[in-house]
Amino acid sequence: MDENTRVVYQGLTGSQGRYYGLLNRDYGTQVVAGTNPRKAGTDVDGVPVFATVAEAAAATGATVSCVFIPAPGVPAAVLEAAEAQMELVVVITEGVPAHDEAFVFNKLQRDHPDVRLLGPNCPGIISPGRCNIGITAGHIALPGGPVGIVSRSGTLTYQALYELKQQNIGVTTCVGIGGDPVPGTSFIDCLAAFEADPETRAVMMIGEIGGSAEEEAAEFIAEHMTKPVAAYIAGVTAPPGKKMGHAGAIVSGGKGTAAAKMEALTQAGARVGQNPTEAGELMVDIVAGL
């Protein structure tokens, strides 16, 4: 993903789609098309609107889709993008039912294994200075590397970008995977990509309570990562049994606690901060030693 990546926005004609689509364009992203079957032939501030993703792709060469469609329409929108052979589908929409997410994930794996889904309920992906797809405030990210960021939480992703910028540390790519029960892209997918990316030399990982994604990531770090990892887990002081906003964020039956996740990551060789600022400081230390 770079400054030449051409992106179609499903839902560009809606208020959020329009606002962030045009912000992404201002950032430098190739926002080449929007879709809306009822508004085909019109344009959004000069960006042509097509009836379908397939038509948009044929006319503009788009290879990535960004979805701002309301939750009930998300499964159909993702499958439409996959059928139009998008390489990456980024779903910003929040509030998608977990059963829909599970269905779409498995459907893609079976029928469209080459399509990468990011989200739903995620802030998107930004390659600072090159391309911003989603709702990340681009100006808080310092281009250049050497750090890659992967985060389960939207606003904590921004917090991480901000902490690194305060420390004058650049970012190669920042991926928000979202806090929903069935994210299209996992921590491990991103860690593997960062391990393989020559420009990324260290990784910042931000998790939260609930589920076991962080523990699985820790296992991957221990076995496969040669690059250093700094981590932070939100919800250190969260009480058990209370769902903290995200569908996934709940400590129940002693499982999914921040303490267990931090322990697993520490055991795996990651350096774990108690808050985002501390994780940023650990990254300063890591980058100084690269």
Partner 1 sequence: MDLFEHQGKELFARYGLPVPTGEVALSPDEAVAAAARLGLPVVVKAQVHTGGRGKAGGVKVAADIDAVRGHAADILGLDISGHIVERLWIEQASDIAEEYYASFTLDRSARKHLGMLSAQGGVDIETVAARDPEAIARIHIDPVDGLSQPACRHWVRAARIPEDVADAVADALVTLYSAYVDADADLVEVNPLIVTSGGDVVLLDSKVTLDANSTFRHDDYAAYDATQTRDEREQAAHAKSLQYVGLDGTVGVIANGAGLAMSTVDVVNQVGGSAANFLDIGGGANAEVMAGALEVITNDPAVRAILINIFGGITRGEEVANGIIEATGRVDIDSPIVIRLDGTNAAEGLELLEPHLSDQLMMEPTMLDAARRAVELAAAGTPEVQP
Interacting residues toward partner 1 by CB under 8 A: 16, 20, 23, 71-72, 92, 94-99, 102-103, 105-107, 110, 123, 135-137, 140, 151-159, 162, 179, 181-182, 206, 208-209, 211-213, 216, 232, 234-239, 242-249, 253, 274-277
Is the torsion defined by CA of 81, 38, 58, 135 positive or negative?
negative
C-beta of 13 vs 60, nearer to partner 1: 13
At its nearest, how many Å lie between partner 1 and the CB of residue 148? Answer: 18
At its nearest, how many Å lie between partner 1 and the CB of residue 259? Answer: 12
- Report the Cα 87 to chain-centroid distance in Å: 15
At its nearest, how many Å lie between partner 1 and the CB of residue 181? Answer: 5
At its nearest, how many Å lie between partner 1 and the CB of residue 236? Answer: 5
Spatial strand order of the sheet with 170-176 comes to: 131-134, 124-127, 170-176, 146-151, 202-208, 229-234, 271-273
At its nearest, how many Å lie between partner 1 and the CB of residue 263? Answer: 16
Write the CA distances from 77 to 31, 87, 93, 114, 185, integer angstroms.
Answer: 18, 14, 11, 17, 17
The pair of three-digit structure tokens given for residue 88, joined into one six-digit string: 């990456």
List, as one string, the DSSP characters of 218-258. HHHHHHH--S-EEEEEE-TTPPTT---SSTT---BTTBS-H
Cα gap 3→265, rounded to integer Å: 34
Nearest 5°: the CA angle 197, 202, 203 is: 90
Please enumerate in sequence order all residues whose Cβ is within 8 A of that of 50, keeping only pairs 6 or more positions apart, or say none: 8, 33, 34, 35, 40, 56, 59
Q: Is the peptide bond prior to 146 cis by the omega test (within 30 degrees of 0)?
A: yes
The pair of three-digit structure tokens given for residue 83, joined into one six-digit string: 């059928």
Active site residue ranges: 246
Q: Is 266 left (phi over 0), alpha (psi -120 to 50) or beta?
A: alpha
At its nearest, how many Å lie between partner 1 and the CB of residue 43? Answer: 24
C-beta of 175 vs 182, nearer to partner 1: 182
Pairing of β 64-67 and β 6-10? parallel
Nearest 5°: the CA angle 214, 217, 221 is: 135
What single-letter amino acid sits at 277? T
